[in-house]
A and B are shown apart, each in its own frame.
Chain A
Amino acid sequence: MGFVGFVLANLRRNLLRSALTGGAVALAVLLVCLLLAMPAGLDAFLTRIASDTRISVINKAGLVYWMPYSLARKVRGLDGVTDAVGMVWFGGAFEEAGRVTFPSFAVEVDHIPGVYPDWNIAPDQLSAFQRYRDGTIVGRQTMRKYGWKVGDRITLRSNVWSLSLDLRIVGEIPNDRSPLVWVNREYLDQALKASGRPGLGIVGIVWTRVAAPDDVNPVMLRVEALTRNSDYETTTQTEKTFFATFIGSLQSFITILMIVTGLVSLCIVFIAANTASMAVRERAGEIGVLRAIGFRRRIIFSMLLAETVVLSLVAGSLGVLLAWAFTLGLRAAGATIAALGPLGGFFVTPGVIVQGIVLSLAIGILAGLAPALGAARKPVADTLREVF
C-alpha cells in the first residue's frame, strides 16, 4: 500500500468522525467565503460598472446642493473632455409602488451616447430617446421588477418637482443590476414651465467622459479651476471612487464581519485539531509498530499531517463550491425579490475561491501539526511499552 493509499485508508477508518470533521470544515469555509463575498462582490460590481475614463462633477457641499445648468456646457468645452451629460435627480415614483423605489434622473439626451458608449445600449434605442421627448430608458433590474417592456407607457410622479410625467419606454440599459431610470430633461423643463414655474435652471451632477485614463487628472483639475471661488465650487471623482464613497460608510461593518470570520476559522481549527489528536491517540500502538519496523519519523509525520490536510482540502473545496452555488441562487432570487436587497449582490470571485482553498489548507496544517509532531517525536520504546 502506497503513501496515498495509507492516508485514505486511515481517513476511512472512522467514517463518521471524518464526515463530522469534514462537515465542520466545509461549513466554516462556506461561511467564510460568503462573508468574504460581500466586500468582494461590492468591489467587483464597482469595477464592472465604473469606467476609468468617466468622472463625476458635483457640488463640493454635497449631492443635494445644486449647480447652474450652464456648468454642463462649460465642462463640455474643456480640453480633454470627450462629452459630458448633466443630470438632475427626478425622484420619480411609480404610482403602483406608491413610493420611490429606483433612482431616476432627468438627463441631457443628446449627450448620453457620448458619455456611456460602454453600457451597450442599442443605437436605435438611443436615437429613439433623442427623438421622442417623452422617451425614457430604464435599467433592466427595474424593467424586470415591474414587468415593463420597451414600448410600454408609464407615469412617474416626482416628489421633488411635484408633477407627474407620462412616459414611453424607448430603451433598456442591458445590465441586470441597473435600477436607473432616465427621462428627458427638456420634457421635465417644459412640464415645469407649463405649470407656471421657472424652468429647470440647475444640474445636480455632470458625468464627464475623457479621451484616455491619462486625461482624468488634468481634466479633474481643469473642472475644479473652472468653479473655484464661485458660489458653486465643485468636487470631481472617478466613477469608481464616486460609487465607493456610498459604500465607504459600511467599512466598520465590514471590519466586524472580518472579526467574526476570524473567530469562525479559529473555531474550526480547534474542532479539526481535536479530531486529529483523537485519531493519533487511538493509533498510538500502530504508530509505534510502524516506527519499530523502520518507518522514519518524517514519513510518520507527513502521513498524519497529510490525513488532516487532505480531509480539510476536500471539505474546504466542497464549502467553496457550496458558497458559489449559494450566491448564484441568492443572485437569481435577488433579481426578482427586491426584499433581499444587498443580499442579491454577493459574488464569489476567483479571489474568494483562492482564499477559501488557502483557508482550508491552513486549517488542515494548523490542526494536524501538533498531533502529528507529537506522535512522530515520541520515542518508539515508550509507545510500545504503553500499548503492550
Chain B
Amino acid sequence: MLPLSYPLRNVLARPLRSAMSVVVIALVVVACSLFLGLISSLRRSFVSSGDPMNLVVLRKGSDNDGASQLSRDAVASIRWLEGISRNGDDQPLVSPELVVQPFFHTLAGGRENVLVRGVEPIALDVHSGVRITEGRMFRPRLHEVIVGRGVLGRYEGAVLGHEIRFGRNRWTVVGVFDAGGSSFESEVWADVTELAADARRGAVYSGVRITAASEAELARLKARIDSDPQYAIEASRESDYYAKQSETSRSLYVFVVIIALLAGVGAGFGSANTMYAAVQSRTAEIGTLRALGFTRGTILTAFQVEALALSLAGFAAGAVLSLVLSALVRGWLGGIAFSAATFTTNVVSLRIGASDLLLSGTLAVVIGFCGGLGPAWRAGNLRPIEALRRG
C-alpha cells in the first residue's frame, strides 16, 4: 500500500496545474451553491410561514388569500366555533383578514405589487411567528401600518416613522416586524376596516386564520368548517397552505439541477484532462512503482485519491467563496424578489445553508471521482516494462 502522502505530495508537485483544477472545481461549487441557496431560501420563506397549529379558512376552491372572498357573516360563523385556542384576555384566536395588492414604488423607480394584509390587533397572537422588532403595533383609524423586514427600505417611504403611499391614502409606518425569514416579511399590515374602506371592498374579507387549541381540535375544526352547511368554505393547515405555495419553486429547482449537472460534467472533463496529463508525465514513475511490486489496485487508488484531494480542495475554496459572494449579494442587491401566487412580490434574502453546501460538495466529489476514474485506470493498467521503456 502506498502511503497517503504519495498522492497528496503529487498534488503539490505541480502547483500550477493543481491550482487550475482546484479553481475550476471551486467555480462550479460557487455556481451551484449560489443557485441552490437561492432556491432553498425561496422555499424556506414559504415553509416557515405556516404554523402547524393554524388553519387558513378560505372560500372553497381558492388556492390563495388573494383569490378568496368571505362575507362578514361567514367570518362571524367561524369566530365562535369550539376548539379554538384563546389568548390571555380570553379572546378566541381568530384573525379575519383582507388581502389587497396595491402598487408600491420601489426606490429604483419601478413599481411592484405588494401584499397588504388588513388585520385586527389579535393577528399578532394568531401569527405567533410574527414579532414587532421596532416601533409598535398600528392603532386603528389613524392610517398607520407596520411593515415586514423585507419591505423595509425597498419602497419609497418604507422607513420607520415615514409615510408610504399606496391605495388612495398615505400611511405612517409605526412598526417593523420580523417573521423568521418567512413570506410575511414581504407584507405590510394595516387595520382591516381602514384597508377595506380604502380599497372600496365593503364588508368582505379574504379569509380567516385561526389557532386550534390542540391537534385533535384542529382536525375537528377542519372537518366542521369543510362541511359547513351554510357557507362554501374550506380550511387547510397553514403549513400545508404555504407548502403548496412553494410548489412554484419546483420548476426552478429542476432548472437549477440541470444547470448544476451540465456545469459539473464540463468541469469533470476539465479535471479528467489534467489527470490524464499527470499520468502521462509520470509514466516512468508509475512503471518504477509497478516494477517494485506495487499492484494495479494500489496505483489506481493513489491516482483516485489525488483526484479526490483536488476536488475536496476545490470544494473548500468554493464553499468559502460562495459564502462571501452571498454576503456581498445580500449587501448589494438586498433581497431577491420573486412573484408569489398572490401576484405580489416575495422578497427573499439569499442565504446558503449547510444542505446546499453539502449538495455542491457531493457534486465536487463526484466530479473528482469520475474525472479521476479514466486516468487512474490508465495508470493502473500501464505495463511496467513498456512504461519504463517509454519513460
Interface residues of A (CB under 8 A from B): 16-17, 20-21, 23-24, 27-28, 30-31, 34-35, 60-66, 91, 93, 98-100, 157, 159-160, 162, 231, 245-246, 248-253, 255-256, 259-260, 263-264, 266-268, 270-271, 273-275, 278, 339-343
Contact = CB atoms under 8 A, between A and B. Distances in A.
Nearest to A271: B270
B205 to A, nearest CB: 13
Contacts of B103: 60-62
Contact of A248 (B21, B110, B199, B200): B110
Nearest to B334: A252
Given A64-B100, A253-B38, A253-B336, A159 B61 contact: yes
B235 to A, nearest CB: 16
Contacts of A28: 263, 266
B337 A249 contact: yes
Contact of A31 (B67, B166, B259): B259
Interface in B57-94: 59, 61-63, 66-69
Given A100-B63, A162-B69, A340-B251, A252 B336 contact: yes
A264 B266 CA distance: 9
B197 interface: no
Given A267-B267, A268-B266, A62 B101 contact: yes
Q: Tell me the interface secondary structure of chain B in the complex.
A: helix
A34 B256 CA distance: 11
A143 to B, nearest CB: 22
Nearest to B21: A274
Nearest to A268: B266
Nearest to B374: A16
A271 B61 contact: no
A263 B32 CA distance: 10
SS of A interface (majority): helix
B251 A159 contact: no
B267 A159 contact: no
24 contacts: A21-B273, A23-B266, A24-B267, A35-B259, A61-B103, A62-B167, A63-B343, A64-B100, A64-B102, A64-B199, A65-B199, A66-B200, A98-B61, A99-B63, A162-B232, A245-B110, A245-B111, A250-B337, A252-B335, A256-B38, A256-B336, A260-B35, A270-B23, A342-B251
Nearest to B28: A267
B100 A266 contact: no
Contact of B68 (A21, A66, A159): A159
Given A65-B199, A159-B69, A275-B273, A24 B266 contact: yes
Given A31-B259, A246-B343, 19 more contacts: A20-B273, A23-B269, A28-B263, A34-B259, A62-B113, A62-B167, A65-B167, A231-B168, A245-B110, A259-B329, A267-B23, A267-B270, A271-B24, A271-B269, A274-B270, A339-B250, A342-B251, A343-B251, A343-B255
Contact of A250 (B21, B66, B272, B339): B339
Nearest to A95: B61
Given A27-B263, A66-B200, A245-B111, A267 B61 contact: no
B262 interface: yes
Nearest to A34: B259
Nearest to B23: A270
A41 to B, nearest CB: 13
Interface in B251-267: 251, 254-255, 258-259, 262-263, 265-267
A26 B6 CA distance: 35
A230 B267 CA distance: 62
B339 A249 contact: yes
B276 A271 contact: no
A159 to B, nearest CB: 5
A162 B251 contact: no
A160 B66 CA distance: 10
Contacts of A160: 67, 69
User: Nearest 4 A-B pairs (CB), nearest first?
Assistant: A271-B270, A27-B266, A62-B102, A267-B27
B269 A27 contact: yes
B214 interface: no
Nearest to B103: A62
A317 to B, nearest CB: 16
B34 A259 contact: yes
Contact of A266 (B27, B248, B276): B27
B333 A249 contact: no
Contacts of A99: 61-63
Contacts of A24: 266-267, 269-270, 273
Contacts of B30: 263
Interface in B178-203: 199-200
Contacts of A23: 265-266, 269
B338 A249 contact: yes
A30 B266 CA distance: 10
B333 A255 contact: yes
A275 B168 CA distance: 64
A267 B364 CA distance: 14
Given A65-B102, A260-B34, A31 B262 contact: yes
